[in-house]
Chains A and B, each alone.
Chain A
């Protein structure tokens, strides 16, 4: 071990330390940005170390340099443009695409190592095991994330796509992938089999993600994030690099935690999400039968107008806004923020945010932050639930199952689901297009509560009407 190797390894350690401290700094919005910059610094240290090592060893060919720099700089430019240009509502797609390329790169690194050593019979079983794992997980992440991004963007049908024989196709590609993997592990270093396994894994990623509904995307994006981390860590095993192992493992853990949290918040198991076929597309329950609902579910509910809602809001001293998936789908975050600012002139306002509001974990917070809502007004579920008993008016916009008090009772499809205790507020206003059900498919008892007023409207248009009415009231 010479001085350069030691220095390079120490640099990797330093980078890993930077990543851990960076993730630690993410525990508060006040320090998070500092954390992100520290992480970037760690990355620069790690990449510099890798380049130093390569230069010192002098193994790289001129073509290698050209390939590396053109590819790296080209990719960086594309990534930078995407990161700069993306609208905040479209962040989940872009995160999915970065997952895809991360997983893809991990698989390519493993494949590159294989191609170099293939034919000589000199691949140790340790490298072979890691390679086989990587050429399976990497491509699954790659195609799965691209399909997820397509569903989020609307290029691929966001409804669960289940075609006859889908399960059979999944089983077949699984068999080919596992069979091919075993053949490689048995000591056969055939490039054709590697290609076959990669293709099977790509197909598996597609058949895995297609049947999953749009509403389950928060779980899927988190899970694929975890897969990418694991793929990168395994690539670290292939090329024997600690930086990749630690970085990948951190991401694997983070994605894993978020996957479980999201599934819990939706009251579903990760397995049932992955089995798919659940729920509908993006605009399913919100859009289906708009207008019909008011008549159908008329019994026991109290309908109110925008003016009624405005009067309640104008005279309240503490208001909670509960934004849900419907608000994100209607892109009404700017209206919500504007209303909050308006009411904030005479009352305390906060947003009560359920973990699955939005299209990826925590997405609603980003949308509201972009709409200039200060983060001190964004309250997590537990903090919000402490406040509800003292809230005068809770304004629910496009959220359904996550506010159903039935969840606190056993014996129904939302039982045990963590909810926002909106029913504890002194009065409730619900903006909703119809009485249609949420994903759980049951009636929301909140709507028939005598203190609840239902304002049937689209989230964006309804909020705009309320804003106009409140302004008229305040002005007079």
Chain B
């Protein structure tokens, strides 16, 4: 077992713990955007696609790299796009006061 593998495992386990800590605090109101945001974060696999493309030398390698890049690009851009679109809908109180009944009761 190499030192590199050990540090990778450390990183993996600690990241899971950090993720657990941070995510248990997210209210259920935001669970869908959270899932979409984490969806976007696993789009980091695009780095993997970059590495695969950089090492490809055969036809099979190029095909794999192409599909990987396509999937990862879709994942990362789609994930962030959708998360942002959902989050911008969460607003406090609509500014315009409803047309009738304005200050009627005061």
Which residues of A approach B to under 8 Å, CB–CB?
A: 15-16, 19-20, 22-24, 26-30, 32-33, 35-37, 39-40, 43, 46-47, 50-51, 54, 57, 59-61, 63-65, 67-80, 82-84, 86, 88, 91, 94-95, 98-99, 101-102, 104-106, 108-109, 111-113, 115-116, 126, 221-222, 225, 228-229, 232-233, 235-237, 239-258, 261, 341, 344-346, 353, 355, 358, 360-363, 365-366, 369-370, 372, 374-376, 378, 380-381
- Given A101-B71, A254-B34, A255-B35, A94 and B65 touching (CB < 8 A)? no
Interface residue tally for chain B (C-beta within 8 Å): 89
Which residues on the B side are within 8 Å of A366 (C-beta)? Answer: 32-33, 86, 89
Which residues on the B side are within 8 Å of A113 (C-beta)? Answer: 52, 55
Establish whether residues A91 and B67, one from each chain, have CB atoms under 8 Å apart when the complex forms. Answer: no
- Given A112-B65, A250-B41, A375-B29, A67 and B48 touching (CB < 8 A)? no
B56 shortest CB reach to chain A, Å? 5
CB-CB nearest in chain B for A239: B51
CB-CB nearest in chain A for B52: A112
Q: B18-69: which residues lie under 8 A (CB-CB) from chain A? A: 18-20, 22-58, 60-62, 64-69
Query: Out of B55, B64, B84, which one reaches A33, CB within 8 Å?
Result: B84
B97 shortest CB reach to chain A, Å? 10
Establish whether residues B73 and A91, one from each chain, have CB atoms under 8 Å apart when the complex forms. Answer: no
CB-CB nearest in chain B for A342: B98
Establish whether residues B34 and A353, one from each chain, have CB atoms under 8 Å apart when the complex forms. Answer: no
Which residues on the B side are within 8 Å of A257 (C-beta)? Answer: 20, 23-24
Query: Out of B11, B31, B40, which one reaches A39, CB within 8 Å?
Result: B40
**Bound CA–CA A369/B25 (angstroms):** 21
Which residues on the A side are within 8 Å of B86 (C-beta)? Answer: 88, 91, 366, 369
Establish whether residues B54 and A112, one from each chain, have CB atoms under 8 Å apart when the complex forms. Answer: no
**Bound CA–CA A358/B29 (angstroms):** 12
Establish whether residues A16 and B90, one from each chain, have CB atoms under 8 Å apart when the complex forms. Answer: no
B23 shortest CB reach to chain A, Å? 5
Which residues on the A side are within 8 Å of B8 (C-beta)? Answer: 236-237, 240, 242, 245
Which residues of B approach A to under 8 Å, CB–CB?
A: 1-2, 4-5, 8, 11-13, 15-20, 22-58, 60-62, 64-94, 98, 100-101, 105
- Given A106-B45, A246-B11, A75 and B77 touching (CB < 8 A)? yes
Chief secondary structure at chain A's binding surface: helix
Establish whether residues A112 and B47, one from each chain, have CB atoms under 8 Å apart when the complex forms. Answer: no
Which residues on the A side are within 8 Å of B25 (C-beta)? Answer: 24, 27
**Bound CA–CA A98/B30 (angstroms):** 18
Establish whether residues A67 and B66, one from each chain, have CB atoms under 8 Å apart when the complex forms. Answer: yes
Query: Out of A54, A222, A251, A358, which one reaches B54, CB within 8 Å?
Result: A54
**Bound CA–CA A258/B34 (angstroms):** 10
Which residues on the B side are within 8 Å of A353 (C-beta)? Answer: 28-29
**Bound CA–CA A406/B60 (angstroms):** 60
B85 shortest CB reach to chain A, Å? 6
Establish whether residues A245 and B38, one from each chain, have CB atoms under 8 Å apart when the complex forms. Answer: no
- Given A51-B50, A244-B45, A374-B94, A43 and B76 touching (CB < 8 A)? yes
**Bound CA–CA A248/B75 (angstroms):** 13
A364 shortest CB reach to chain B, Å? 9
**Bound CA–CA A47/B77 (angstroms):** 12
**Bound CA–CA A381/B77 (angstroms):** 33
Establish whether residues A105 and B12, one from each chain, have CB atoms under 8 Å apart when the complex forms. Answer: no
**Bound CA–CA A108/B72 (angstroms):** 10
Query: Out of A27, A46, A80, A104, which one reaches B27, CB within 8 Å?
Result: A27
Query: Out of A36, A98, A375, which one reaches B92, CB within 8 Å?
Result: A375
Which residues on the A side are within 8 Å of B54 (C-beta)? Answer: 54, 57, 59-60, 64, 68
Which residues on the B side are within 8 Å of A91 (C-beta)? Answer: 32, 36, 82, 86
28 contacts between A and B (CB under 8 A): A24-B22, A36-B83, A36-B87, A57-B54, A63-B56, A65-B53, A67-B53, A67-B69, A71-B53, A72-B72, A74-B73, A79-B75, A79-B78, A80-B81, A98-B79, A105-B72, A112-B68, A116-B57, A116-B61, A233-B15, A235-B45, A235-B48, A244-B44, A250-B16, A253-B23, A362-B34, A365-B29, A369-B91
A230 shortest CB reach to chain B, Å? 9
Which residues on the A side are within 8 Å of B68 (C-beta)? Answer: 71, 105, 108-109, 112
17 other contacts beyond A43-B40, A345-B98, with CB at 8 A cut-off?
A: A32-B30, A32-B90, A33-B88, A64-B53, A73-B73, A82-B82, A104-B71, A105-B46, A105-B68, A109-B48, A112-B64, A112-B68, A115-B61, A115-B64, A360-B32, A361-B35, A362-B35
**Bound CA–CA A112/B57 (angstroms):** 10
Query: Out of A26, A46, A102, which one reaches B26, CB within 8 Å?
Result: A26
Establish whether residues B4 and A240, one from each chain, have CB atoms under 8 Å apart when the complex forms. Answer: yes
**Bound CA–CA A362/B12 (angstroms):** 27
Residue among A78, A344, A381 facing the most chain B CB atoms (10 A cut-off):
A78
